[in-house]
Amino acid sequence: MQESIGNEFFPPTEEELNEIIAELKRRLEDESYEEEWVKIHEELLFRQRQLKETIIKNNAI
């Protein structure tokens, strides 16, 4: 999974965000990713915020 924080031409859907978030959480629990935990945590926070905004936007439509 090479999702990047930043400008995305086509932002992920709510379902895709849930999958990305689940994968990021799995990586945070995996010690083999220990050196990347800070970066993973930052992306997790970004994706959770993005999911919240997507849900709010979808409910407003």
Could you read off the pLDDT of 7-16 as tens digits, one per residue?
A: 678 889 999 9
Residue 6 CA to residue 31 CA, distance in Å, equals 26
pLDDT, tens only, 27-51: 999 999 999 999 999 999 999 999 9
Residue 3 CA to residue 22 CA, distance in Å, equals 13
Q: How confident is the model at residue 18 (pLDDT cuts 50, 70, 90)?
A: very high
Residue 50 CA to residue 29 CA, distance in Å, equals 22
Q: Domain-by-domain residue ranges, the chain?
A: 35-61
Q: How confident is the model at residue 1 (pLDDT cuts 50, 70, 90)?
A: very low
Position 5 pLDDT exceeds 80 = no
Residue 49 CA to residue 54 CA, distance in Å, equals 9
Enter the pTM of the model.
0.82
